[in-house]
């Protein structure tokens, strides 16, 4: 029962080897069904324009952050003695280090921009309304997590800018009545910014928040898939 052409939605495959590999996986995992239900049936409606792309662009930038972040972490050293020197080493000595770290730093800025555009579009078109209110909630959670990732990443190069930005950033919540002082203490891991602060920001930046944000992104996308993309008003 060897097929000559494999048709998957709009794709036609003629290569025998590819057909056999696909069939083997299809028999075991039901790949065709997944592809049909989740990909080909869900091709975006034609009326969606550029402004509908910013959620997807943000997701793409997030993947960029994950990949370049992994690469930067190969050389970065999270200690107050070595942090700045290791970043300088990445920028000046490691081949293409300037590119990798540049993509990470610029990507984070771009992510904020694309999130704001995405959010503005949702707001202006009123598509946060019923039944999509929970999407707005996960979306705002993602915005806050992205800001948290930006803030924690900002300290890691351990430059004057990074240090004082973190002084200010941890001082700000201290203005809150009653709880503020405790929040500052918890964020700094003590009264001052020290190795403890750098270590907890590093843990937040490379593990705690990325894992959390990946889970919330999954939820955000699952909601869209369940409800379908909102049409124009």
Q: What residues line the site for other proteins (CB under 8 A)?
A: 5, 12, 14, 71, 74, 93-97, 99-100
Cα separation of 123 and 141, whole Å? 16
Smallest separation, CB 59 to other proteins (Å): 19
* Angle between helix 180-188 and helix 160-171 axes, rounded to 10 deg: 150
In the bound state with other proteins, the residue whose beta carbon lies nearer, of 96 and 106, is: 96
In the bound state with other proteins, the residue whose beta carbon lies nearer, of 87 and 187, is: 87
Three-state DSSP at 11 gives strand
Smallest separation, CB 93 to other proteins (Å): 7
Smallest separation, CB 88 to other proteins (Å): 15
Inter-CA distances, 195 with 64, 182, 190, Å: 28, 19, 10
Torsion of CA 41, 43, 46, 49, to 10 degrees: 150
Cα separation of 217 and 59, whole Å? 8
Smallest separation, CB 96 to other proteins (Å): 4
In the bound state with other proteins, the residue whose beta carbon lies nearer, of 31 and 73, is: 73
Smallest separation, CB 97 to other proteins (Å): 6
In the bound state with other proteins, the residue whose beta carbon lies nearer, of 12 and 28, is: 12
- Structural contact between residues 210 and 66, judged by C-beta atoms closer than 8 angstroms: yes
Residue 140: cis peptide before it, omega within 30 degrees of 0: no
In the bound state with other proteins, the residue whose beta carbon lies nearer, of 7 and 27, is: 7
In the bound state with other proteins, the residue whose beta carbon lies nearer, of 25 and 74, is: 74
Cα separation of 21 and 19, whole Å? 6
Smallest separation, CB 128 to other proteins (Å): 37
Q: How many CA atoms lie within 13 A of 70 on its CB side?
A: 5
């Amino acid at each position: 029962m060897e097929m000559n052409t494999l048709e998957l939605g709009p794709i036609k495959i003629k290569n025998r080897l590819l057909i056999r590999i696909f069939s083997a996986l299809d028999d075991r995992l039901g790949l065709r069904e997944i592809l049909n239900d989740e990909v080909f049936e869900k091709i975006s409606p034609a009326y969606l324009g550029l402004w509908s792309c910013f959620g997807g662009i943000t997701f793409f930038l997030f993947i960029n952050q994950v990949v370049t972040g992994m690469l930067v972490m190969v050389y970065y050293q999270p200690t107050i003695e070595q942090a700045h020197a290791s970043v300088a080493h990445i920028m000046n000595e490691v081949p293409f280090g300037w590119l990798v770290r540049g993509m990470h730093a610029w990507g984070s800025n771009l992510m904020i921009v694309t999130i704001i555009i995405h959010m503005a579009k949702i707001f202006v078109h009123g598509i946060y309304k019923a039944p999509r209110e929970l999407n707005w909630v996960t979306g705002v959670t993602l915005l806050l997590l992205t800001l948290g990732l930006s803030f924690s990443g900002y300290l890691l190069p351990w430059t004057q800018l990074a240090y004082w930005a973190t002084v200010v950033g941890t001082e700000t919540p201290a203005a809150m009545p009653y709880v503020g002082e405790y929040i500052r203490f918890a964020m700094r891991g003590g009264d001052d910014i020290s190795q403890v602060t750098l270590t907890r920001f590093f843990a937040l930046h490379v593990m705690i928040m990325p894992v959390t944000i990946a889970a919330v992104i999954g939820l955000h996308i699952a909601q869209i898939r369940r409800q379908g993309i909102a049409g124009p008003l």
